[in-house]
Structure 1
Amino acid sequence: MLESVIRRTHEYAKKHPEITDISKIAKGVQVKPINAKKALERYDVINGKSIAKKPR
């Protein structure tokens, strides 16, 4: 998962709190819905940064 995808998805979701449907968020960020779902799950809200797994 790319860091930029995670950041863009989270910023878009934060900017549009009225959109709750993941497929609509994905369309707004122009990523696949499965990737948008993973990106939102992996974002660390407290520290404001991604908790994506490090590439090997």
Structure 2
Amino acid sequence: MFTAAQCLDKAMELELLAAAALAPDARAEFRDLALQWRRLACRALVQDQRGIIAGTPQA
């Protein structure tokens, strides 16, 4: 499982690629991938919160 920070880093990297001078379909693909990584970051945050509530140690 990725950490939220790792997911956000990847999303930002993809967003930079989406802003580059590429073909429109390639930019759209990078935007879609960035959105998926942002969603994964949200899921990672939820998992972290559940771990804290359950009292399990975090990696």
TM-score grouping bracket, smaller chain normalisation: 0.3 to 0.5
Larger Rg computed on CA atoms: 2
Normalized per residue, the structure richer in helix is: 2
**TM-score using structure 2 length:** 0.38
| Structure with the larger strand share | 1
